[in-house]
Amino acid sequence: MSIRVRYAPSPTGEPHVGNLRSALFNWLLARRHGGRFIVRIEDTDQSRKVEGSVAQTLDALRWLGLDWDEGPEAGGAFGPYYQSQRLDRYHEAADRLLAACAAYTCTCTPQRLADLRKAQQKRKQPPGYDGRCRKLSPEERAQEREAAGAHVVRFAMPEAGETLVEDAVRGQVRFENPLLDDFVILKSDGFPTYHLANVVDDAAMEISHVLRAEEWLPSTPRHLQLYRALALRPPIFAHLPIILGADGGKLSKRHGATSVAHYRAEGYLPEAMLNFMALLGWSLDDKTTYLSREELVAGFALKRVGKTGATFDLDRLEAMNGHYVRALAPDQFAERLRPWLEDGLPPSVVRPLDGARLRAIGPLVQERIKRLTEVVDLTDFFFLEEPLSYRNKDLMGKGFRDNPSGALHALETTRATLAPLSTWDAGAIESALRALAERLELKPGHLFTPIRVAATGKTAAPPLFETLALIGRTQTVQRLDAAAGRLARPDD
C-alpha cells in the first residue's frame, strides 16, 4: 500500500509547536517509505479564520524543511486543498447520509442546547445532545426547518454497541456507542464541521495514515462511524502523545511561546528545532539524541512512537541548539550571524556588514552561543565606533578590587607595551602581554581583566588576544586610553 499522509492545519493563527510536531511525524513517515506528504487547509470555521495564517504555516514548514508533495502552491491531483473550496463534496456526503437516515436535520436553537447542557451538568449527567430532532418524524422535521429558517445536520450515532478503534500506537481502544451523542456534521452556515470534512477529505485524498495529536482519540469512534455510514475505508490511525508545558498541562500560550515562528526569531536553528520536536514522543533507541534530518527519516518508525505525554523542555531545546550552532561550518555560521547582527546592532553601524569581518569573528563566538540572537551582545564591540559603557568596578576586576591606581597602572603599561608592537596579531599580543604580567608580577588573569573590559566593555568576552588582534591597534589603544581616563573619576 502506498503511503499518503497529510498535515491539516486550520488557519487560526501562527502554527503551534504541537501542530508542527504532528506535521513532522507525518512527513517523516512519508519520506521514510517513499510516500506522499500532503498539506490541506481546514478552513471550515469562518469565525476563527485569521488572515495570513496559511502563509505563516507554509513558511514554518519551509523553514523546517518539510516539503510537501501536494497542497497549496504545490497543486496535485486530489485538489483543491482548501476545504472552503470543497463544500460541494461535504454536501454530497451529508445528502447521502440524510437519504440513508444516518443523519437528520436539527433545528434546536443554540439557546436550547445551552440550557440542555446546563441542566445535564446540574443533574451530573453527561452533557450531550438529547436527540430531540432525531425523534421527530420526517414531516415534523420538514415543518420545523421551514419555521426555523436555519438548521444543522447531525449524524445519527448507533444507539447501541461499541466502536473499536485500532490505534497504531495505543492498540485497541473501546468506546460505547450510546455514550457518544449525535454530533453536528453540517453547520447552519453550510460549512461542515471538522468531523465530516476530515473524513470526506481523507477518504477522497486516499490518505493511508492519520497521525494526529492524542486529543483526537476520543472523537475517533465518531469518525469511524462516519466512514462506515459513508461506505468509505478508514485510514490507519496513530494518536501522538500530547505535548505538555512545564507545569504538566497541555502546552498553551500561558507556558510562553508556542509558535514556531517565535523560536525562529529567537535564534534557534531549524535543524535543532526539528531534532527537538522529533524527540517529543519518539526515540530511535536508548542513547541517540542528535539526529540529522536524513537520520530522522531513515530511523523513523511508528512502532517507536511513545504513548506518554512529552514535556516541552526549553533547556533541552537550547542545549540542542548550542550543539547545532557549534556543528555549523565556520563560513556558514558567519553568514547565519549576519541577519541577527544587522538587526540588533545600533543604527550607527554601517550595513551591510563586511563578510570577511564576520568570518573572522565567527570562530571566536561559535562555541560560546546557544542561540543566534546572543551574538549581538557578545560581539557588538567589534562594530561600535562610539565609547563603550561599563562600570569601573568591572574594569578593576578581582585583581584590582578597590585599587584604581593599580588598574590604572596596568592599563597604562599595557598601552605602552602594545602601541609600539611591531607585529599586530594574536600571537605577538599574547607574548607581549604575558611578558608584561611577569614583569609587573601580576597573575595573567588579573592583568587581562582590565584589558578585556576596556576593549570589549564586558567581563565575559571572546578570547582576549584574538579579540584585540581583530579590533586593531588603533582602536585598542583608544579604548585603553578611555578606560585609563575613566579610572580617575569613580562612577559607582
Partner RNA sequence: GGCGCAUUCGUCUAGCGGCCCAGGACACCGCCCUCUCAAGGCGGAGAUCGCGGGUUCGAAUCCCGCAUGCGCUACCA
Q: Which residues are catalytic?
A: 253
User: Is residue 341 at the binding interface for RNA, with CB under 7 A as the rule?
Assistant: no
Which CB, 43 or 348, lies closer to RNA?
A: 43
Which CB, 42 or 70, lies closer to RNA?
A: 42
Q: Is 478 helix (H, G, I), strand (E, B) or coil?
A: helix
User: Is residue 431 at the binding interface for RNA, with CB under 7 A as the rule?
Assistant: no
Helices 464-471 and 355-365 pack at an angle, to 10 degrees, of 170
User: Is residue 149 at the binding interface for RNA, with CB under 7 A as the rule?
Assistant: no
- 71-100: contacts with RNA (CB under 7 A): none
Sheet holding 103-106, edge to edge: 103-106, 152-155, 184-186
Which H or E run includes 38? Answer: strand 36-39
Stretch that binds RNA, among 93-101, 337-345, 352-360, 464-472 (CB under 7 A): 464-472
Sheet holding 236-240, edge to edge: 36-39, 4-7, 209-213, 236-240, 162-167, 171-176
Contact in structure between 166 and 302 (CB atoms under 8 Å):
no
CB of 59 to RNA, least distance (A): 19
Stretch that binds RNA, among 20-28, 182-190, 352-360, 403-411 (CB under 7 A): 182-190
Which CB, 30 or 461, lies closer to RNA?
A: 461
Task: Identify the residue among 75, 218, 256, 387 touching RNA (CB under 7 A).
Answer: 218
User: Is residue 255 at the binding interface for RNA, with CB under 7 A as the rule?
Assistant: no
User: Is residue 130 at the binding interface for RNA, with CB under 7 A as the rule?
Assistant: no
Stretch that binds RNA, among 65-73, 226-234, 240-248, 293-301 (CB under 7 A): 240-248
Sign of the dihedral through C-alpha 123, 129, 132, 135: negative
Measured from the Cβ of residue 401, the count of other Cβ atoms closer than 10 Å reads 11
Contact in structure between 340 and 322 (CB atoms under 8 Å):
no
Stretch that binds RNA, among 257-265, 315-323, 413-421, 483-491 (CB under 7 A): 315-323
CB of 347 to RNA, least distance (A): 27
Task: Identify the residue among 84, 177, 188, 475 touching RNA (CB under 7 A).
Answer: 188
User: Is residue 394 at the binding interface for RNA, with CB under 7 A as the rule?
Assistant: no
User: Is residue 60 at the binding interface for RNA, with CB under 7 A as the rule?
Assistant: no
- The H-assigned helical ranges of 328-443 are 330-344, 355-365, 374-379, 392-396, 404-418, 426-440
Cα 364 to Cα 362: distance, rounded to the nearest angstrom: 5
Q: Is 41 helix (H, G, I), strand (E, B) or coil?
A: strand
CB of 217 to RNA, least distance (A): 5
- 433-452: contacts with RNA (CB under 7 A): 444-445, 448-449, 452
Task: Identify the residue among 189, 342, 354, 385 touching RNA (CB under 7 A).
Answer: 189
Residues 6 or more apart whose CB falls under 8 angstroms from that of 242 comprise: 18, 213, 214, 215, 250, 251, 309, 310
